[in-house]
Amino acid sequence: MDNILRADVAVIGFGKGGKAVAAELGRLGRRVVLIEKSDQMYGGTCPNVGCVPTKALVHHSGQRRPDDSPQEWFEHAVGQVQALTSLFRAGNYDSLNGADTITVLTGTASFADPHTLTVVTSTDRITVTAETILINTGSEPVIAGIPGLADSTRLVTNVDLIKTTTLPGRLAVIGGGYLGIEFASMYNRFGSKVTVFESSARILGREDDDVAAAATQILADEGVDIVPGATVVEVRDGTSGTTITYERNGSRHTLVADAVLAATGRTPVTDGLELANAGVRTTARGAVEVDEYLRTSRPHIFALGDVNGGPQFTYISLDDSRIVLDQLIGEGKRSTADRVAVPATLFMTPPLATIGLTEKEARAAGRRIKVARENVADIVAMPRAYIVEETRGLMKFVVDADTDQILGAALLSVDAQELINTVALAMRHGITATELRDSIYTHPSSTEAFNGVLAALQPNP
């Protein structure tokens, strides 16, 4: 006979949103069961195979000196990062499983009916019943349907790549989006010869031409080979490498690589959940369908994080937890509609952080705008860039000409991942460009660059 656990709340997946809800409800005395299919994923994607290890590797890649052996330095870096992720993973597990009101099960969950889950562990089969159920299963890499790619022995995902201790001498990256460019920058700095294949006319297609051009130039100057307008048509393994065949400008070309990174997006993980048994609907793109309160087609079942098809950021998953907690123990008013000015950062070196509208989007919307744009090397008010010897990049602001409200920004600079949060706060609370320009900032800091950049606002017809 199956073991039976009865809970107030069951959470499928140990990601950021789910664990935050589980921790808070457990603290309040609710009986919580959290199910995670892998003992290597306690805490979710971010601390195990996402933000923490990749950004740690970005840091280590920048510490390699010219005389350091690329392979030895890479192996050392991966060891350091694995020790860090192991520490975080253990801390995540202990913080929840150690609570009297929370039980963590390591196994695969599927719906038997709207209130019942079947959990298969390595040694047991457990039935979990709960009044409320949270789906928090995240997303996984998409492998493009390129002939030979899925079967290649040298195919790697971002998860595979950061776990190997062998630095690929030649790394081919298929996809010039955030993930592809971040890994291209990182592995180039470790010492790989990196080639990026991008099917569009240029990388960073959403960004303005000047921002994308600046980022592209930085990557090219560091040795990353970016091949825009390239359609990969075949991947074929050989004894000494994998041959990538691609079409560009009407001609066919080939390149041989030691590893091929598929960086063509991620898709929600719903396979095996048996959502139909619970009457939970999915969207055409495979995400769990939710309303603005993150309720699924079954009001007692919520979906948080990447699995609901929203922006694939850990901080969005955290905000999802606030919305769900407000539904379960709060006033029930908070929703995804409350989100404004959500920033994003691409962790190349230096990082590119963006928020709001680009110049071209503002123009397309018919807005009267003012634009400020300065190369970091020319920002007199930012001596920190010279102090830390990172003067590459630019800062750009798009401002409403009538209201002086900041419509968007692109910061390609040292500390951009921090600076963008100040801009986001200003946008959320109606702080004008003039107020941001005239604020008092510490010195020498990167933030004080706003004093200079925003002083250069010019009307753009």
* Residue for token pair 């929703």: 335
Residue 139, marked binder: yes
Residue 177, marked binder: yes
Residue 17, marked binder: no
* Token code pair at residue 235: 């991947």
Report the DSSP beta bridge partners of residue 313.
Answer: none
Residue 175, marked binder: yes
Residue pair 156/27 in contact by the 8 Å Cβ criterion? no
Give backbone dihedrals phi and psi of 268, rounded to 5 degrees, phi first: -60, 145
Residue 443 falls in the annotated catalytic set? yes
* Token code pair at residue 15: 């990601």
Residue 57, marked binder: no
Residue 133, marked binder: no
* Token code pair at residue 168: 């690929």
Residue pair 134/10 in contact by the 8 Å Cβ criterion? yes
388: Cβ–Cβ under 8 A, 6 or more apart, which residues? 414
**Residues 59, 253, 300, 443: which is the catalytic one?**
443
Residue 251, marked binder: no
How many whole angstroms separate alpha carbon 38 and alpha carbon 269? 14
Residue 55, marked binder: yes
How many whole angstroms separate alpha carbon 149 and alpha carbon 161? 16
Residue 332, marked binder: no
Residue pair 193/107 in contact by the 8 Å Cβ criterion? no
Question: Residue 432: left if φ>0, alpha if ψ -120 to 50, beta else—which one?
Answer: beta
Residue 138, marked binder: yes
Q: What is the DSSP string of 294-363?
A: -B-SSTTEEE-GGGGTS---HHHHHHHHHHHHHHHHS-S---GGG-----EEE-SSS-EEEEE--HHHHH
Residue 265, marked binder: yes
Strand segments, DSSP code E, in 136-258 are: 139-141, 155-156, 170-174, 193-197, 225-227, 231-237, 242-248, 251-257
SS3 (DSSP) at 183: helix
Positions at the binding site = 55, 137-139, 175-182, 198, 265, 306
Q: Give the active site residues.
A: 443
Positions at the binding site for FAD = 55, 137-139, 306
Positions at the binding site for NAD(+) = 175-182, 198, 265
